[in-house]
Structure 1
């Protein structure tokens, strides 16, 4: 087991990647503190972990509230004796899911997104670090960043700015905290993320990626018709990203620090928007003759 007897706090664990990671981490031997803004979701995920034979407790917590992040860490210590890993995963999409242009976006709407995707990372990291320093044995912080913090998603300027800020926090904190044996890394998912991000908070937790839902609607996955350069027989899913988080959370990555790992990228970040066909080099040779 890759996380045997490790204690993990996961923010935004009521759905999507957080939920998938809670289930995976528990299978790998971790004690899990499931936190989310929606209390019913935390209890359901904790119960799922327990039903599968794992150890988990639930806590309603808002990543934008410092006292809530401190409470999550305190619960981990009270229940399991220590904290080993903070997975700062909570995120939210901009209001309108990219449909509201800059000139109609309010300051409140912009700040609401950044409060979760950037400030939430700061507060979760701060709460965890205080406990790591008390324990004096190092620690591990993993963050859910985004390919949207590397490349611009149309209409997601507030989200992308916040994720880019979170990425730099990871680099800066990795540098600052390394001398205490504390590692800080992030994944930057491009595909295989939860379709629940585009849905209201009260919506049913689907446990599926955008690509999985699209494949189901189309009657099957068409890798050739997909914009992802890597062509595999099945669509990317939440577990693909959860395994990347597991790697960064485990001792297998013990000398990785301050790194943003593009997860489930499938080659997308290596593409350009200019439509070159497969024979573009040959075409250029013909034109030059």
Structure 2
């Protein structure tokens, strides 16, 4: 088992990648603190982990509030005795989302408010800062460990209608580079994964919506790789587990000498494209 005897915190673990990573980490031997702003979702994730034979603890916290993040770390250490992995995964999309994907109403950039900005900034970037800051004392006391964050393909290329989200995720990439330099002396590795495909529709759904438990591609209908915009043609759609496996790699000793990196996950060659669209490409630029 890749995480045997380790203790991990996963934020935003009530759905999507956070839930899938919690289950995978536990299956690989970790005791997992499932942190989410929604206590019911956190409890559901714990139930799934325990059903699989793992050990987990539900903790309610808003990662945009530093005191709540500190309390979540303290609860984890008090319960499990130590901390080895902090996975700062919680994230929100900026208001307006991705209308072409979500079917929602587009919000023009000039109509976004300071509250919109502070919300996405607070969760996506301050939340990573608070999570890392709260974890460092426990990781140092443990002789080292791993800080992992969820970035996004949107930190590397532009997507419509989510400029605020893209900015915060690009900030995550810069933060983990700086922290890797500052914290390496304590044996603490700091990395991020940047998912492209295989993420949860819950990300664009209202708070409290039922947890889908599958990726966009899995719920969009029968999979046909010939019409998918993903250059890599496989006979199954990308899944949440594909991204969770990358998180596991970065959290485990398999990546022991990797730090300061943002690893593009479940990309299938999508980000290798040039700006021009060629006739042999299936779909359209809007599919991306």
TM-score, length of structure 1 as denominator length: 0.93
Gaps of 5+ in 1: 280-289
Alignment of 1:78-97 (within 5 A): 78-97=78-97
1:52 aligns with 2:59: no
Structure 1 position 108 matched with structure 2 position 106: no
User: What's the counterpart of residue 28 of structure 2?
Assistant: 28
1:144-183 to 2 correspondence within 5 Å?
144-183=150-189
Q: 1:198 aligns with which of 188, 201, 204?
A: 204
1:234: Cα distance to partner? 0.5
The 5-angstrom pairing of residues 239-250 of structure 1 reads 239-250=241-252
For residues 37 and 239 of structure 2, the distance between their equivalents in structure 1, rounded to whole angstroms, comes to: 23
2:18 aligned partner: 18
Q: CA deviation at 1:278?
A: 5.1
What is the alpha-carbon distance in structure 2 between the residues aligned to residue 62 and residue 183 of structure 1?
Answer: 24
Cα distance, 1:96 vs structure 2: 2.0
SS at match of 1:187: strand
C-alpha distance in 2, partners of 1:134/1:2? 22
Q: Aligned equivalents of 1:278 and 1:153: distance in 2?
A: 22
Q: Of the candidates 105, 117, 120, which is equivalent to residue 127 of structure 2?
A: 120
Displacement of 1:15 after TM fit? 0.1
Q: Distance in 1 between matches of 2:277 and 2:248?
A: 36
Unaligned segments of structure 2, at least 5 residues: 99-105, 282-288
Q: CA deviation at 1:134?
A: 2.8
- The C-alpha deviation readout for 1:132-186, integer Å capped at 9, x for no partner, is 1233x01101110000011111111000000000110011101111111100000
TM-score by length of 2: 0.93
Q: Give the superposition deviation at 1:77.
A: 1.1
Distance in 1, matches of 2:60 and 2:84, equals 20
- Is residue 96–residue 161 contact of structure 2 (8 Å, CA) maintained in 1? no
Whole-Å separation in 1 of the counterparts to 2:2 and 2:252:
6
TM-superposition CA deviations, 1:213-232 (whole Å, max 9, x none) = 11x2xxx1111101111110
Whichever of the two has the greater Rg, that structure is 1
Determine the C-alpha separation between the residues in 1 that align with 2:52 and 2:229. 36
**Aligned CA-pair RMSD:** 1.2
Contact 2:198–2:238 (8 Å) recurs in 1: yes
Query: Take 2:83 and 2:242, find their aligned partners in 1: how far apart are those partners?
Result: 25
Cα offset, 1:273, TM superposition: 2.5
Q: Residue 195 of structure 2 aligns to a residue in which SS?
A: coil
1:13, CA displacement in angstroms? 0.1
What is the DSSP-based 3-state SS (H/G/I as helix, E as strand, rest coil) of the residue aligned with 1:153? coil
- Supply the distance in 2 between the matched residues of 1:69 and 1:34 (Cα, whole angstroms): 12
SS of 1:186's equivalent in the other structure is strand
The whole-number CA distance in structure 2 between the counterparts of 1:232 and 1:203 is 30
